[in-house]
Amino acid sequence: MPEYAVPTPKRRPGRPKAGESNAQERIIAAAVDEFGEQGYDGATMRGIAARAGVDSALVHHYFGTKADLFAQTIDAPMRPDLDIPALLEGPQDVLGERIVRYVLEAWERPETRKRGVVLLRSGIGNRLTTPLLSAFLQRELVGRVATRIDAPDAALRASLVASQIAGVLIARYVLQLPALASASVDEIVAQVGPTVQRYLTG
């Protein structure tokens, strides 16, 4: 009987090739270099793929979007690019309280708090991390919030929202100011929520 060769299944685009077991590690290392040299806005998935010696489709296969890859690169404890759009829906008159509660309840989870504190401590004043984190938050948080503010100074107001939240996180979880560190989430939301709301709609 004639022998027929068994056809080799075609590999779908973006799927890892045999022997690419370390591709994810190479991509992360390449992302660190690319983000460090080009900044968050300047870095591209194609550029990261070229540094890692893989096809750009493989980068998307493993890590999704640029925001996904950056979040994994810095081990981000929260994903504003994913969570903020849902938060912006619903009654606008309590949006400030909703944002403050979302952030605080997330940070009350031990793993989020642990990673968040490390990120804040390493991100503030670090020559490499600070501009990267700033650009990420500007695009994925501040920019998204600004689109929902009906005012000519929307970008400033959205930045003030971010500054208010960042200040609370630093004071409560990094500096651990006693009164703030011991306050309940409900107490902080009641005090800070109206201030954030004023930035949004006042």
pTM for the structure as a whole: 0.69
Q: What's the CATH code of the domain at 169?
A: 1.10.357.10
Q: Are residues 68 and 115 in the same domain?
A: no
What confidence tier does 112 reach under pLDDT thresholds 50, 70, 90? confident
Compute CA 85 distance to the chain's CA centroid, rounded to the nearest angstrom.
13
Domain that holds residue 120: 80-201
3-state DSSP assignment of residue 32: helix
Using pLDDT thresholds of 50, 70 and 90, give the confidence band for residue 20: low
> 3-state secondary structure string, 42-84?
HCCHHHHHHHHCCCHHHHHHHHCCHHHHHHHHCCCCCCHHHHH
CA distances from 90 to 86, 99, 111 (A): 8, 12, 28
Q: Which of 44, 73, 102 is where one domain is finished? A: 73
| Whole-number average pLDDT of the chain | 84
- Same domain, yes or no: 59 and 97: no
Highest mean pLDDT among 39-43, 74-78, 101-105: 101-105
- Can you give the CATH number for the domain in which 38 is found? 1.10.10.60
Any residues with CB less than 8 A from the CB of 158 and at least 6 apart, and which? 142, 143, 145, 146, 149, 199
Poorest-pLDDT segment among 116-125, 133-142, 145-154: 116-125
What per-residue confidence (pLDDT) applies to 9? 44
Residue 111 has pLDDT above 70, yes or no: yes
pLDDT value at 6 more than 50: no
More confident position, 5 or 97: 97
Q: What would the two tokens of residue 101 be?
A: 């509660």
Shared-domain flag, residues 99 and 172: yes
Q: Are residues 161 and 129 in the same domain?
A: yes
Residue 65 and residue 4 in one domain: yes
Decide if 100 contacts 196 (C-beta within 8 A).
Answer: yes
Q: Please state, in angstroms and as integers, the Cα–Cα distance from residue 147 to each residue in 24, 35, 62, 154, 156, following that order.
A: 34, 26, 30, 7, 12
DSSP 119-139: HHHHHTT-TTHHHHHHHHHII
pLDDT at 19 over 60: no
Q: Write out pLDDT tens, residues 149-180.
A: 999 999 999 999 999 999 999 999 999 999 99
3-state secondary structure of 6: coil
What's the whole-number mean pLDDT along residues 172-195? 96
**Better-predicted residue by pLDDT, 40 or 13:** 40
Per the structure, the count of domains in the chain is: 2
- Same domain assignment for residues 67 and 85: no
101 plus 189 within the same structural domain: yes
What is the distance between the alpha carbons of residues 119 and 117, in angstroms, rounded to a whole number? Answer: 5
Q: Which residue has the higher pLDDT, 6 or 172?
A: 172
Q: How confident is the model at residue 135 (pLDDT cuts 50, 70, 90)?
A: confident
